[in-house]
Amino acid sequence: MNELISYENVRFIRDHNVILDHVNWTVQPGEHWAVIGLNGSGKSTMLNMMGGYEFPTSGTIRVFGHQYGRYNWEHVKKRLGFVGNTLNRFLDTLNMETAREIVVSGRFNSIGIYEQTKAEDWKKADELLASFRLTYLADKPYRFMSQGEQRRVLIARAFMAEPDAMILDEPCSGLDVRAREELLASLERQSKAHNTSLLYVTHHIEEIFPAITHVALLKDGKMLADGRKEHVLTSEHLSEAFGLSVEVEWRDERCWLKIT
């Protein structure tokens, strides 16, 4: 069994609401996934479960070959990068730190630096800042950055530990079009450099950049379609998922939507 991630018949019920309904999903090494669906379709819940933040009501989740509930999940989490709104819990600490400090802290999977750092850690943080075009923010405290800048700093931080898989929950929200394109290019570069599988949640089909190989399409907590992106991103599937008549157009290995 060499899958990176596998969900078997995963159900998640909260307050009598079925939030994920018999979800089956497999990610193989080398694949990069986009997870799409309308607001409330269960995208974040599905991915947050991997971090051990929610326990499935039934079904099995395996990450890096380890079954959730039967293994010390801290070891799994060390190999997972995560960028999403859950980091807002640490806002008080983040606000006090500079971009450089935040990126370095990713080396220890912490927010805030509580361990001995080495010169090479700072060198690597500087390289990451450069790769994400954030050098100009190196010494600026988080609280004085724009929303888009904060988002990019957190993404650079998540690469510091060279994770095997990286969950990015709407990483481009709040970014202008140029910043979005720069971020997508940096993500592509970094994921190649470290062999990191990307798991990318978005509402925007045009953010599915060429390096993304597969798509999971959720509707009302169910997996409507999953597999290679060319097979999933069709006018029929997307019209059904969005409850709206749309037409898909492929240009330069990217997919664009037209409302029809």
Ligand X SMILES: Nc1ncnc2c1ncn2[C@@H]1O[C@H](COP(=O)(O)OP(=O)(O)OP(=O)(O)O)[C@@H](O)[C@H]1O
Which of these, 187, 229, 196, 254, lies nearest to 35 by C-alpha position? 229
151 binds ligand X (CB under 6 A): no
Q: Which of 5, 23, 33, 41 binds ligand X (CB under 6 A)?
A: 41
Specify the pairing of strand 197-201 against strand 80-83.
unpaired
88 binds ligand X (CB under 6 A): no
Phi, psi of 26 (to 5 degrees): -130, 130
43 binds ligand X (CB under 6 A): yes
260 binds ligand X (CB under 6 A): no
**Which are the contacts of 227, defined by CB distance < 8 A and separation ≥ 6?**
214, 215
Q: Least distance (Å) from ligand X to the CB of residue 166?
A: 17
37 binds ligand X (CB under 6 A): yes
Q: Which of 9, 14, 24, 28 binds ligand X (CB under 6 A)?
A: 14
120 binds ligand X (CB under 6 A): no
Stretch near ligand X under the rule CB under 6 A, chosen from 3-11, 41-49, 55-63, 93-101 = 41-49
Q: Which is nearer to ligand X, 161 or 198 (CB)?
A: 198
Answer whether 93's CB lies under 8 Å from 112's CB. yes
Q: Least distance (Å) from ligand X to the CB of residue 71?
A: 23
**What is the chain's percent helix, strand, coil content, to nearest 5?**
40, 30, 35
Q: Please state, as a whole number, how many other Cβ atoms lie within 10 Å of the Cβ of residue 260.
A: 9
